[in-house]
Amino acid sequence: MTSPLVLASSSPFRRRLMENAGLAFSTETARIDERQIEEGLASQNRGPESLASELACRKALEVSARRPDALVIGCDQTMAMGSQIFHKPTDLDAARRQLQALRGGTHRLYSGICVVRNGEVVWKFVGQAELTMRNFSDEFLDRYLTLVGAKALTSVGAYQLEAEGIQLFSSVVGDYFTIIGLPLMALLEQLRRMGEIDA
């Protein structure tokens, strides 16, 4: 017998990916303070990959405590260029500074996913992608931010690759779903292995 699937996320992008894949699920937002958790892990020198995995699991575990009947899927995404870890910008000025810092360089996205049942982690995975931004002008950046507005504040990179953000890039290496924030192929394979969806 299969368990109800719950996506522990309010992300419309992740929800759309799972809907498009034909999965039947509900959503429930995890009640955690991501920045507080990150600060608590800072002393452990956690890298962005480990951080994405930890946050994904914390989200799934929190929702699982309220939904022990369900198979809960938690996701989180981190981004780094070199040793610098980036977060969602708080306003358009922060988005502009972040995109200027990324311009002309290569950064990595890490998309963590964690599946929890009855408060126990049953599977976790981190997908990676490598993205190179072109050396665009400040004028282009201003036009881009005017065009996308507050959407720049909804993702860790201040861009949506599936929309206007694609114009910021010269090269993308990695799984599309990982870049959007949910390693869907790996999740579907795991759900098949667990007998939760048709094999």
Residue 89 lies in a domain: yes
Q: What is the pLDDT of residues 17-54, one digit of tens each?
A: 999 999 999 999 998 877 777 776 666 777 889 999 99
Q: Could you tell me the CA-to-CA distances from 171 to 54, 66, 104, 182 in Å, in that order?
A: 28, 42, 11, 20
- Residues annotated as catalytic are 76
Pure H helices in 67-183: 92-102, 138-148, 176-180
Which residue's structure tokens are 């995404």? 77
Structure tokens at 65: 């405590």
Domain annotation covers residue 199: no
Residue 143 token pair: 């036009």
Listed in sequence order, the residues at least 6 apart from 127 whose beta carbon sits closer than 8 Å to its beta carbon are: 110, 111, 113, 174, 175, 177, 178, 183, 186
CATH, residue 69? 3.90.950.10
Domain span holding position 65: 5-193
Q: Is residue 29 part of a domain?
A: yes
Q: Is residue 187 part of a domain?
A: yes
Tell whether 198 is covered by a domain: no
Question: Residue 178 falls within a domain, yes or no?
Answer: yes
Domain count, the chain: 1
Q: Can you give the pTM of this predicted structure?
A: 0.90
130-167 pLDDT per residue, tens:
999 999 999 999 999 999 999 999 888 999 988 999 99
Asked if the structure places residue 70 within a domain, the reply is yes
